[in-house]
A and B are shown apart, each in its own frame.
Chain A
């Protein structure tokens, strides 16, 4: 098991290096646009000749590519590890803000949104999937199928704006956007997040429900389910201990990656619509301003979460399914 863990962990590090290198290529090597193209782009709209020269020096654009790559990485983890050299800061030249610091500030909102929404979508996704599978072919199954399709098909920005308009602005039943810190006021924290949680969860509930329903219907025809019935287990025991246990395994993979995606700043639309100043909001804001350093920072941050979560998913997978456990 330790060897398996090590192998997976080393693999993750390799993936991270590859992702960061691709980011490096996309943002720094490819752009071109004249001798100072990359530096001008990083400088943003306020570029002065002096700033461009300054950036070229700080990002080591006058040196070989591996030094440039190293400089970029130094900036990416500046502020995460103890590096006090201010020259190594990943700075947004448009806003003069420290990108790593900004991402850190966005984390509470993003994590609150993600964790809350994922609890909701996992709970209801499983509930809906089980109900649909158990009543397969009957009215409730069909109703759930249609609702799931509606849920999957509704764009988050549309649903978000509509709910915000009707439930927070036209009727003021809910606060109109923005994030309140959990430690500052837990009640207001939850109150402010109910709408974004729900809106974000709706998409996934439909999707998870469909996936789980089909997994269950596949598993129900497995021979070992027949064995379980032949042993004299009740319908309920067969369903929970044998059918559901096995059907949930693929859902774990799905959940790990979706969760990581949203945690990594992927809920750009939800955060934007509800004015939650999280990582996704920060990325959207930077995109608006064509401000490259924050976009690079968020890309690396998101990739880090996806890689980390996929390692966790693999480990959890090995726990759930002994067949893939190394012996």
Chain B
């Protein structure tokens, strides 16, 4: 039961044809998700995290989109499903919540009605029953007074409450996988922790698995089991949370870890940043996609490194040509004052 495989993504590529050229939004992503686990996908804007998530639900389908690879959910490849069958997976098998709770609910319908709509999209229950369930769901996500709040409109909810309502809606049909796409980015810091905790707790209550997408390693540090670091549409590092935090292998991961503000460092110290900006997804750099921004790049980086296991920990993969020894020697300058390598 603990190791029941729910979702497996294999060699996923997503390309958008635009007037300027083909955008390689996702360019080779592999991962697996088991029941009860939380997978964190980390990366900056434009790294392909959201496109990956939306593709799992078939929300990127369009005449101008091309897909490669497989998205296997319980033995079925979702990429091959026709739209009307895919529709039955959305919400019922895989639920999704989005970044901005302010705009993700329809302003003209009552919060409760929007949850009822989600329930009735998949189950033949009458409105009264669905409504009772909506109230129960709102209670479960911690909305006070759900019996009366169920009839509120979204604008009568605060940002945190709206995100809770979104979570209630996403869980309304008991999906096995919950995808949370930057669920806390638009919220106050105090609310962020509550929402993350809520997601973690509901994952256990609903016995599901979670994909948590974020650009903030601090957010996933608490609840993720596995981490996937994405850059320019591909996975640059993949592994368990502890090995990835304590023995990070890719210079991009070091950069992300280095840019988290820390309480144990003097305030006067400038926060570390990764120089430059992500590459254009239309004209990608040759070789390693991080090469133009990487302080440790050398000739070999003109050839793209494969995603492989290079360290002692099995299942910890990275995409960097540097030797493990070289990495461990140089990375602490980047993570500056970070934890010493555990290994």
B170 surroundings in chain A (CB, below 8 A): 230
A322 near B166 with CB under 8 A, answer: no
Q: Does B139 contact A (CB under 8 A)?
A: no
Given the known A-B contacts A232-B122, A322-B153, are A223 and B104 also in contact in the complex, defined by CB atoms under 8 Å?
yes
Asked whether A323 is an interface residue with its Cβ less than 8 Å from the other chain, the reply is: yes
Q: A223 to B84: give the CA distance in the assembly, Å.
A: 21
Stretch at the interface among B85-93, B216-224, B229-237, B254-262: B85-93
Which residues A261-278 have CB closer than 8 A to chain B?
none
Bound: A226/B128 CA distance, A = 26
Q: Which single residue of chain B is at the shortest CB-CB distance from A249?
A: B108
Considering only residues 51-88 of chain B, those with a C-beta below 8 Å from chain A are 57, 59, 83-84, 87-88
B81 nearest CB across to chain A (Å):
13
Is there an interface contact between A232 and B105, defined as CB atoms closer than 8 Å?
Answer: no
Q: Which of A233, A235, A242 contacts B121 (CB 8 A)?
A: A233
Contact A322 B87 (CB under 8 A): no
**Residue B156 at the chain A interface, CB threshold 8 Å:** yes
Contact A232 B166 (CB under 8 A): no
Q: Is the CB of B107 within 8 A of A227?
A: no
Say yes or no: B96 contacts A230, CB within 8 Å: yes
Max chain B CB contacts within 10 Å: which of A224, A234, A323? Answer: A224
Within 8 A of A (CB), among B213-251: none
Which residues of B from 94 to 139 have beta carbons under 8 Å from A? 95-96, 98, 100, 103-108, 117-118, 121-122
B166:A227 contact, CB within 8 angstroms: yes
B155 contacts partner chain A, Cβ-Cβ < 8 Å: yes
Q: Contact check, A226 vs B90: say whether CB atoms are below 8 A apart.
A: no
B166 cross-chain contacts in A, Cβ below 8 A? 227
Q: Does A222 sit within 8 A of B, measured CB to CB?
A: yes
Is B209 among interface residues, defined by CB-CB distance under 8 A? no
Of chain A, the residue at the smallest CB distance from B58 is A229
The answer to whether B90 and A227 have CB atoms under 8 Å apart is: no
Q: Does B169 contact A (CB under 8 A)?
A: yes
Distance in angstroms between the alpha carbons of A242 and B4 in the assembled complex: 37
Q: How many residues of A contact B (CB 8 A)?
A: 24
Q: Which residues from B are CB-within-8-Å of A227?
A: 98, 104-106, 166, 169
Question: Does A228 interact with chain B (Cβ within 8 Å)?
Answer: yes
Within 8 A of A (CB), among B8-51: none
CB-nearest residue of chain B to A246? B108
A231 sits at the interface (CB 8 A): yes
Which residues of the partner chain A approach B155 to less than 8 Å between Cβ atoms?
A: 322-323
Q: Which applies to chain A's interface (DSSP): helix, strand, loop or mixed?
A: helix
Q: From residue B153, how far is it (CB to closest CB) to chain A in Å?
A: 4
A85 at the binding interface (Cβ < 8 Å): no
Asked whether any CB of chain B lies closer than 8 Å to the CB of A87, the reply is no
Instruction: Take A232-B90, A245-B108, A321-B107 as given contacts and tell me if A226 and B84 are in contact as well, using a CB distance cutoff of 8 Å.
Output: no
Set of chain B residues within 8 Å of A226, measured between Cβ atoms: 59, 98, 104
- For residue A235, which residue of chain B has the nearest CB? B83
A211-233 CB mask vs B (1 if < 8 Å, else 0) is 00000000000111011111111
Q: Does A327 contact B (CB under 8 A)?
A: yes
Q: Determine if A73 is an interface residue (Cβ-Cβ < 8 Å).
A: no
CA of A306 to CA of B92 in the docked complex: distance in angstroms? 49
The yes or no answer to A320 lying at the interface (CB within 8 A) is yes
- Known contacts A226-B98, A327-B156; A231/B108 CB under 8 A: no
Report A-chain residues with C-beta under 8 Å of the C-beta of B92: 232
* A residues with CB within 8 A of B: 222-224, 226-235, 237, 241-242, 245-246, 249, 320-323, 327
Known contacts A230-B57, A231-B117, A233-B87; 17 further A-B pairs (Cβ under 8 A): A223-B98, A223-B104, A226-B59, A227-B169, A228-B106, A229-B59, A231-B91, A231-B121, A232-B90, A233-B121, A234-B84, A241-B117, A246-B108, A322-B108, A322-B155, A323-B107, A323-B155
Q: Which 5 A-B pairs have the closest CB atoms?
A: A232-B91, A232-B90, A223-B103, A224-B106, A231-B118
Q: What would be 28 A-B contacts, judged by CB atoms less than 8 Å apart?
A: A223-B98, A223-B100, A224-B104, A227-B98, A227-B106, A227-B166, A227-B169, A229-B59, A229-B90, A230-B90, A230-B95, A231-B91, A231-B118, A231-B121, A232-B87, A232-B88, A232-B121, A232-B122, A232-B173, A233-B87, A234-B84, A237-B121, A242-B106, A246-B108, A249-B108, A320-B108, A322-B108, A327-B156
